[in-house]
């Protein structure tokens, strides 16, 4: 079982440090900045072996070069992003498997937010590092991919075990939840969740990790077949799910 440390940085980012106690191997996912990662490594006496970047955006790769210079670690990123990620050493693609000690880290390609985006799934620890593909009560904006691509990417994640803990890269739950309520205000689980989120954020506490089961019950981007959402959007039961998803994404882009 991995030890996972969640580090809040910048305005609303999270960096994740992963450590396997048996092998003493350590990895970091999406280091936006280097300094807080270095602080964790020094306080724990850990040596950084690898950086894993889910995609190329600066708030996910900004600490790469400093960490690489200080620790000699390797940078792992998508083959498709070889020209866009600083310090890349190892290129991966959909279906590849990495190892952190005895822990398997599965690479699942999830184009949509960016063309080369992937997520990291750790079946033994039941953990999913989503980057900007899937958020608590939301999903990533479509900067480089289409709605159809993102829809298919999310279908892959929906198929994972419902107990999977989701470690998203941003603290967006409260704002995402306000939008979700406009689509499915009668969802009792969503109502209860928003009460919990309001309490957590009032105390400046994280709403993550979440679980896939909770997201399936409350996240509109995973609920394109919800009769309530379809009714709100004016779609009947025969409408293609991808079209419902596309409309939800469009409305979220316009939501203020």
State pLDDT tens for residues 204-250.
Answer: 999 999 999 999 999 999 999 999 999 999 999 999 999 999 999 99
Catalytic residue among 20, 57, 81, 117: 57
| Residue 170 is among the residues annotated as catalytic for this protein | yes
Domain assignments of the chain as residue spans, ordered by start: 3-168, 173-254
Catalytic residue among 20, 59, 94, 124: 59
Task: State the pLDDT confidence band at 193, using cuts at 50, 70 and 90.
Answer: very high
| Residue 56 is among the residues annotated as catalytic for this protein | no
State pLDDT tens for residues 134-177.
Answer: 999 999 999 999 999 999 999 999 999 999 999 999 999 999 99
Percent of the chain with pLDDT over 70: 100
Catalytic residue among 19, 56, 117, 170: 170
Catalytic residue among 19, 55, 56, 117: 55
| Residue 69 is among the residues annotated as catalytic for this protein | no
Q: Which CATH number fits domain 3-168: 3.40.50.300, 3.60.15.10, 3.40.50.970, 3.30.2350.10?
A: 3.60.15.10
**According to the model, what pLDDT value does residue 80 have?**
92
- List, as own/partner pairs, every contact residues 4-13 make where C-beta atoms lie below 8 angstroms and the sequence separation is at least 24, other chains included: 4/125, 4/127, 4/167, 5/40, 6/167, 6/206, 6/208, 6/209, 7/36, 7/37, 7/40, 8/171, 8/206, 9/33, 9/36, 10/59, 12/170, 12/171, 12/172, 13/59, 13/60, 13/169, 13/170, 13/171
**According to the model, what pLDDT value does residue 95 have?**
97
State pLDDT tens for residues 15-68.
Answer: 999 999 999 999 999 999 999 999 999 999 999 999 999 999 999 999 999 999
**According to the model, what pLDDT value does residue 1 have?**
83
| Residue 132 is among the residues annotated as catalytic for this protein | yes
**According to the model, what pLDDT value does residue 40 have?**
98
């Amino acid at each position: 079982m991995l030890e996972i440390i969640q580090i809040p940085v910048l305005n609303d980012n999270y960096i994740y440090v992963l450590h396997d106690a048996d092998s003493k191997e350590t990895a970091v996912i999406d280091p936006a900045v280097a300094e807080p990662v270095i602080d964790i490594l020094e306080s724990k006496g850990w040596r950084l072996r690898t950086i894993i970047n889910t995609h190329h955006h600066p708030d996910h790769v900004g600490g790469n070069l400093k960490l690489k210079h200080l620790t000699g670690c390797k940078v792992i990123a998508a083959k498709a992003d070889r020209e866009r990620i600083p310090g890349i050493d190892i290129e991966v693609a959909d279906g590849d498997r990495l190892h952190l000690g005895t822990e398997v880290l599965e690479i699942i390609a999830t184009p949509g937010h960016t063309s080369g985006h992937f997520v990291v799934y750790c079946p033994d620890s039941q953990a999913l590092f989503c980057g900007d593909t899937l958020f608590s009560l939301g999903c990533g904006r479509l900067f480089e991919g289409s709605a159809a691509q993102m829809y298919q990417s999310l279908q892959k994640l929906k198929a994972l075990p419902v107990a999977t803990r989701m470690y998203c890269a941003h603290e967006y739950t409260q704002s995402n939840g306000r939008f979700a309520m406009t689509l499915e205000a009668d969802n009792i689980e969503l109502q209860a969740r928003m009460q919990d989120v309001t309490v957590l954020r009032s105390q400046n506490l994280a709403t993550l990790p979440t679980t896939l089961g909770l997201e399936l019950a409350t996240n509109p981007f995973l609920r394109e077949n919800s009769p309530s959402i379809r009714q709100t959007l004016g779609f009947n039961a025969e409408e293609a799910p991808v079209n419902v998803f596309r409309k939800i994404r469009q409305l979220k882009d316009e939501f203020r």
